[in-house]
């Protein structure tokens, strides 16, 4: 691997190092280019995808040449051996485990296959420890950040929920109440968080607070969505009314990562040169499968 020693951190402010020396990229589009290549390190990123990340729908007259220019500048900053030119695009030749986004996803995948809860907890906690803030801070690409960041935030929240489940399985309900109150306030329509909060309150002897929390959620769902709480939440509520300990959570084992989706690619081919139009013409639908670093782009390249 040519780019040995290069590491890119995207789960917070963008940071790039080579041999533990920080490299500062001051140009916004250089940061965008690096982030786009990094989230699929080891795989080829087609030129049209790089162009969309760099310019969105406002493509320059010759998008291919523009991408080439920025690749040349990024090579000067990182080293020529780090970015490879292939027939259909460019490849960041860096160990995927040195890209925090890809390491995060690998750790969650391993946690889902862990032989026991101790190993699973260690992997989930290691994955969550990679986060330093909001994903892609300092990357000026609304399209890339909106799609990829939403995916990653959902994956992180799923990992937090699984870590909470593991704590609850050990009877640490009282310790989790404050965290669950904060999470449910931050994600008020996420019912699984409220279910965990009700269980934590109920099993800590705080039935009155649990019932009040359920009533707040019931009103919120009715006002915002016109719906009622889920069957699982109603089941917990019924046990609280009977002054019984809430039933254990019926959550799936393992960490759930967001699923793949079919996404329509809508780049503006009319703004490309004739050569670019011919090359990009076949790109229309992306179908991805969750589970490996190579699938990450398939999950987020949905230009909406």
Q: Domain locations in the chain?
A: 1-170, 172-258
Total Cβ atoms within 10 A of residue 57: 11
pLDDT recorded at residue 302 = 44
What is the C-alpha end-to-end distance of the chain, expressed in Å? 35
- The answer to whether the CB of 162 falls within 8 A of the CB of 178 is no
Domain 172-258: homologous superfamily in CATH: Tetratricopeptide repeat domain (1.25.40.10)
pLDDT at residue 265, rounded to an integer? 32
What's the pLDDT score for residue 244?
A: 87
Which pLDDT value is given to residue 256?
Answer: 56
Q: Quick check: 36 and 71 in contact, CB under 8 A?
A: no
Give the pLDDT confidence score for residue 299 in this predicted structure.
54
Asked if 176 contacts 200 with a C-beta cutoff of 8 angstroms, the reply is yes
Radius of gyration of the chain from its Cα atoms, rounded to whole angstroms: 23
Render each residue's pLDDT in the chain as its tens digit; 304 residues: 555 689 999 999 999 999 989 999 999 999 999 999 999 999 999 999 999 999 988 888 899 999 999 999 999 999 999 999 998 899 999 999 999 999 999 999 999 999 999 999 999 999 999 999 999 998 988 877 777 888 999 999 999 999 999 999 999 999 999 999 999 999 999 999 999 999 999 999 999 999 999 999 999 999 999 999 999 999 999 999 998 888 876 544 555 555 433 232 333 333 344 444 444 443 333 333 344 444 555 555 543 4
Two tokens, residue 249: 């959570």
- CATH assignment of 1-170, given 3.30.300.30, 3.40.50.720, 1.10.10.10, 3.30.479.10? 1.10.10.10
């Amino acid at each position: 691997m040519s780019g040995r020693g290069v590491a890119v951190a995207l789960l917070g402010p963008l940071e790039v190092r080579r041999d533990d020396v920080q490299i500062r990229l001051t140009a916004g589009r250089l940061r965008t280019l690096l982030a786009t290549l990094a989230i699929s390190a080891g795989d080829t990123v087609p030129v049209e995808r790089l162009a969309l990340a760099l310019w969105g729908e406002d493509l320059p007259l010759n998008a291919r040449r523009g991408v080439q220019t920025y690749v040349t500048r990024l090579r000067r900053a990182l080293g020529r051996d780090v970015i490879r030119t292939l027939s259909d695009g460019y490849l960041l030749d860096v160990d995927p485990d040195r890209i925090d986004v890809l390491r995060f996803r690998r750790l969650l995948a391993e946690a889902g296959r862990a032989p026991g809860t101790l190993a699973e907890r260690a992997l989930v906690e290691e994955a969550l420890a990679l986060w330093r803030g909001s994903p892609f801070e300092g990357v000026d690409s609304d399209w890339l950040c909106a799609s990829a960041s939403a995916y990653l935030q959902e994956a992180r929240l799923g990992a937090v929920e699984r870590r909470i489940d593991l704590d609850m399985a050990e009877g640490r309900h009282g310790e989790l109440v404050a965290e669950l109150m904060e999470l449910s306030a931050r994600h008020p329509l996420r019912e699984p968080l409220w279910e965990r909060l009700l269980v934590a309150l109920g099993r800590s002897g705080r039935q009155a607070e649990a019932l009040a929390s359920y009533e707040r959620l019931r009103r919120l769902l009715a006002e915002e969505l016109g719906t009622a709480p889920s069957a699982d939440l109603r089941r917990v509520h019924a046990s609280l009314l009977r002054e019984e300990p809430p039933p254990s959570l019926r959550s799936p084992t393992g960490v759930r990562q967001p699923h793949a989706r079919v996404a329509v690619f809508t780049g503006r081919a009319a703004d490309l040169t004739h050569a670019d139009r011919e090359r990009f013409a076949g790109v229309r639908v992306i179908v991805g499968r969750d589970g490996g670093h190579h699938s990450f782009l398939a999950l987020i390249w949905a230009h909406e």
